[in-house]
Amino acid sequence: MQQHMRESGLARELASIVGEAHCVREPAALQPWLNEPRGIYQGQAGLLVAPGSAEETARVLARCNRRGVGVVPVGGRTGLCGGTHSRPGELLLSLHRQRRVRRIGAGSLTAEAGCALATLQEEAGRVDCVFPLSLGSEGSCQLGGALSTNAGGIHVLRYGMARDLALGLEVALPDGRLLSDLKPLLKDNTGYDVKQLFIGSEGTLGVITAATVKLHPRPKSRVTALLGIASPDQAVSLYRRAEAELGGELNAFELISRRAAELCEERLEEVSVPAALDAPWLLCVELAGAIEDAALTSRLAKFLEQALRSGELLDAVCAASEAQREAIWRLRHGVPEAVRRAGASLHHDLAAPPERIPEFLQAARKLCRRFVPGTEPAPFGHIGDGNLHYSVVCPAGFDPRRFARQGEALSAALRELAWGMEGSFSAEHGVGLLLKDELERLGDPVKLGLMRAVKRALDPQGIMNPGKVVAA
């Protein structure tokens, strides 16, 4: 009862800032905001507000700070770590009304945090550029969410992660101040690079309300191929050679295990692997460049011919049309959905230095067989970044309750394995709630101490996304 009264008092105050129409309290209207993609968490906030501007966002935070109310920033809700989970009494703050592109110029654009990544890619296209942050969730995930989780995707090897694409940020701070640092500058050595603190902090330090991001010239040509290879060792050696020989034109280099490809063929419509590529591992390789199509295709063909001759490659199929190119990418982007449709499964967003990926895959498969006899893991991911999405599906006939029990131990063992190989248990999805205990267990105590010090300095009341990433 008391909580309800507190909430309605707060709702009245916040409605006076954002307008009554942008405060959501009815349970049915709130429900969709409380779910998350994997269905692991069910949020419990009783109130959502959607400020229409950076200034309104800052004023909402100042009110919550005064009352000691926890604020959970919400973007497109495609994060996979429980980062937008809310507890009773906390406030959800959505950026969906802030989706204006404020400025678009040579080499950069400034946009509000609620813009979907796909919208920014379209905007960039209008000025003959690309905004290269490209993820399976780009239709729904927002600029603010992607920056807050330092998202990666398929073009990291060429353009870097969200952090590398950000030139400036505007951030509403918990005490109600607005940090406005949106200059489109590549060079600015005037002290600490404060914006980088907010990138990857998953809403625990402030709310990103806008950003200036780099645009790159739109490549004139693009060529995509699906390759069949015998082993992950070949994937790594081919990647290193492609890096050296194809250099700046290498746009994507993605590994797909046979099991992951089979799941796509079994569970998705309009996805198939060409019969010629009956190989244990597949690679999806793309080049994009400033030269003509024919010249780029011939560069890739030469590279592939040499790889065939040296035995690094079993076979390859080059896309001869846009439809064939899309079919290759449907296979790669379809893996998470195919795994989801296959029933109970475990997901891990792991990293290791690329040269250690073959050793990691071998040891990881042994762990899977030990904890879940009969399973065949379905890894896939960004081989050039050493980032593997390591999925394990419950085998037919295996007791799902036993799978859940054994799965916890298997997940912990896989994360430890990656960590022990100078890798990471969260390469691009973040920590959120899901991996917070893992960070406490495996993380460097000095780094954790610094993270807590930063949190206390910027958010002394602990209102920003409470309980996520790092314990206060």
Ligand X SMILES: Cc1cc2nc3c(=O)[nH]c(=O)nc-3n(C[C@H](O)[C@H](O)[C@H](O)COP(=O)(O)OP(=O)(O)OC[C@H]3O[C@@H](n4cnc5c(N)ncnc54)[C@H](O)[C@@H]3O)c2cc1C
Residues of this chain that interact with ligand X (CB under 6 A) are: 37, 72-80, 83-84, 95, 113, 135-137, 141-142, 144-146, 148-149, 151-153, 202-203, 207-208, 336, 428-429, 432, 465, 468
Smallest gap from residue 148 Cβ to ligand X (A): 4
What is the rounded distance in angstroms from the CA atom of residue 122 to the CA atom of residue 128?
A: 10
**Using only C-alpha atoms, what is the Rg of the chain?**
23
For the CB of residue 115, give the shortest distance to ligand X in the complex, in Å: 10
Q: Which is nearer to ligand X, 158 or 468 (CB)?
A: 468
User: What is the smallest separation between the CB atom of 146 and ligand X, expressed in angstroms?
Assistant: 4
Is the Cβ of residue 296 or residue 434 nearer to ligand X in the bound state?
Answer: 434
The secondary structure of 172-217 as a DSSP string is E-TTS-EEEE----S---SS--THHHHTTSTTSS-EEEEEEEE-EE
CB of 174 to ligand X, least distance (A): 11
Closest to ligand X by CB, 54 vs 307, is 54
Considering only CA atoms, which of 102, 112, 162, 104 is closest in space to residue 132? 162
DSSP three-state, residue 308: helix
Cβ-proximal residue to ligand X, closest one: 145
Nearer to ligand X, 82 or 407 (CB): 82
Question: Do 378 and 259 touch, CB atoms closer than 8 A?
Answer: yes
| Listed residue (354, 383, 25, 348) closest to 227, CA to CA | 383
Rank residues 208 and 261 by Cβ distance to ligand X and give the closer one: 208
Which structure tokens are listed for 232? 């992950």
Residue 388: in which H helix or E strand, if any?
strand 387-393
Integer angstrom CA distances of residue 425 from 370, 433, 465? 20, 14, 21
Shortest reach from residue 274's CB to ligand X, in Å: 24
When the beta carbons of 178 and 318 are compared against ligand X, the nearer one is 178
| Cβ proximity to ligand X, 119 vs 234, nearer residue | 119
Q: Which is nearer to ligand X, 157 or 300 (CB)?
A: 157
Q: Minimum CB separation from ligand X for residue 71, in Å?
A: 9
CA distance 255 to 284: 6
Which tokens hold the place of 173? 């701070």
Contact yes or no for 222/158 (Cβ under 8 A)? no
**Single-letter code of the amino acid located at 80:** L
Nearer to ligand X, 86 or 375 (CB): 86
Nearer CB in complex with ligand X: 317/427: 427
Task: Indicate the residue among 151 and 319 with the shorter CB distance to ligand X.
Answer: 151
Provide, rounded to whole angstroms, the least separation between the CB of residue 72 and ligand X. Answer: 6
Q: How far is the CB of 140 from ligand X (least distance, A)?
A: 6
Question: In which residue are the tokens 């394995």 written?
Answer: 417
Smallest separation, CB 203 to ligand X (Å): 3
Contact 254, 380 (CB under 8 A): yes
Identify whether the C-beta of residue 121 lies closer than 8 Å to the C-beta of residue 131: yes
| Exposure string over 377-387, b if 16+ CB within 10 A, otherwise e | bbbbbbbbbbb
Query: Least CB distance from residue 331 to ligand X, whole Å?
Result: 14
Whether residue 186 contacts residue 215, with contact meaning beta carbons closer than 8 Å, is answered with: no
Q: For the stretch 244-260, what's the b/e string if a residue is b when 16 or more beta carbons lie within 10 angstroms of its beta carbon?
A: eebeebbbbbbbbbbbb
How far apart are the C-alpha atoms of 13 and 335, rounded to whole Å?
45
Least separation, in Å, of the C-beta of 304 and ligand X? 25
- The pair of three-digit structure tokens given for residue 160, joined into one six-digit string: 């870097």
Instruction: Identify the DSSP state of 464.
Output: B
Nearest distance from residue 382's CB to ligand X, in Å?
A: 8
Of the pair 74, 296, the CB lying nearest ligand X is at 74
Tokens of 445: 């105590």
Burial class of residue 359, CB neighbours in 10 A (0-12, 13-18, 19+): middle
Tokens of residue 250, six digits: 């290498």
Structural contact between residues 216 and 134, judged by C-beta atoms closer than 8 angstroms: no
